[in-house]
Amino acid sequence: MASSDPLNISLDGTQSRFEQAAQSVLTAFAQSDIKTGEQVTPPMLVDAVRQMLAVMQKLDKTEVWDPDLPEDDQEQIADYAIGFLQDLATWADRLNEKTARQAMDVTALGVAAWVIRHKGNIRTLEPVVNALAGLANVNQDPQHLLRIAQLMEQVILATDAPIRADLEKDPSRPWRILLMNHAITATRAQDTEQMEHAFELLLKYLPEDAPAFFQEGLQQVSQPGFAPAVKDLMKSYQQKSVGAMH
């Protein structure tokens, strides 16, 4: 049955996307003459991801959580799956399978969406952030952009506490990129409610970056095509961010 979600990140959609991408990587690997030595190979990684997805499907069908399993078992399963998918994405890069590489990231996003539905935390952000950025970049439809922004917010709120503590200050860190992209995507969707959510999160977690973001954002939304309410909201947060720094 087709997913009603335009992003198709249901578990069924995630499995289907993964199998298609996996076949591309497996075929390219079989045709390559890469000497793997003791490296973990694509067939091993594909089998590992399949096992994780099968467990996730089984857990979805289980109405009562097994008390013998750890409470964070969903998080562990998801993190293993995302880690294997990262390794497969690296192989896809190495084999020049660009479409499959992107699909591995979107598969990781599907895994993250699954753990969110199970009220768990996301422990590995990078491929999830990459997937969300890629989806936002290729979408222009305001409703699709709103859905992506909402999903970004869910990922932010489900991000594991050590990541949210944000002890490293590398500008390219996935946590910072996620917060910035959430605000950008909500603005592109021109949904003032989602913009407020994104802007509040930006002020909370990136107060040092917020003034420059809102200043640049104000210039962007002053161009034709943006509703007055969008410009007014951006201006109010630009003033709020400057005031917060003093």
The yes-or-no verdict on residue 169 having pLDDT over 90 is: no
Of residues 146 and 70, more confidence is placed in 146
The yes-or-no verdict on residue 17 having pLDDT over 70 is: yes
pLDDT tens readout for residues 101-145: 999 999 999 999 999 998 999 999 999 999 999 999 999 999 999
The yes-or-no verdict on residue 244 having pLDDT over 70 is: no
Same domain, 199 and 245: yes
Same domain, 98 and 212: no
**What is the residue-wise DSSP string for 49-96?**
HHHHHHHHHHHHH-SS--TTS-TTHHHHHHHHHHHHHHHHHHHHHHTT
Same domain, 196 and 224: yes
Nearest to 105 by CA among 130, 79, 137: 130
Same domain, 184 and 106: no
Confidence of residue 246 (pLDDT cuts 50, 70, 90): low
Do the beta carbons of residue 120 and residue 75 sit within 8 Å? yes
Same domain, 117 and 146: no
Across residues 179-187, what is the average pLDDT?
Answer: 98
Same domain, 246 and 143: yes
Across residues 21-49, what is the average pLDDT?
Answer: 93
Same domain, 87 and 140: no
Same domain, 135 and 117: no
Same domain, 7 and 119: yes
Percent pLDDT > 90 in the chain is 81
Do the beta carbons of residue 95 and residue 29 sit within 8 Å? yes
pLDDT tens readout for residues 203-235: 999 999 999 999 999 999 999 999 999 999 999
The yes-or-no verdict on residue 65 having pLDDT over 60 is: no
Per-residue DSSP letter, 160: -
Same domain, 79 and 130: no
Across residues 95-106, what is the average pLDDT?
Answer: 96
Q: Domain range spanning residue 237? A: 125-246
> Which residue among 74, 101, 123 closes a domain?
123
* Whole-number pLDDT of residue 149: 98
Same domain, 95 and 204: no
Count of domains for the chain: 2
Same domain, 2 and 119: yes
> Which residue among 123, 141, 165 closes a domain?
123
Evaluate the CA torsion angle 111, 40, 103, 21 in order and state its sign: negative
> Which residue among 123, 147, 164 closes a domain?
123
Of residues 52 and 33, more confidence is placed in 52
Q: From the CB of residue 103, how many other CB atoms can be counted at a distance below 10 Å?
A: 24
Confidence of residue 2 (pLDDT cuts 50, 70, 90): very low
d(CA 128, CA 104): 10
* Whole-number pLDDT of residue 68: 58
What mean pLDDT, rounded, does the chain reach? Answer: 92
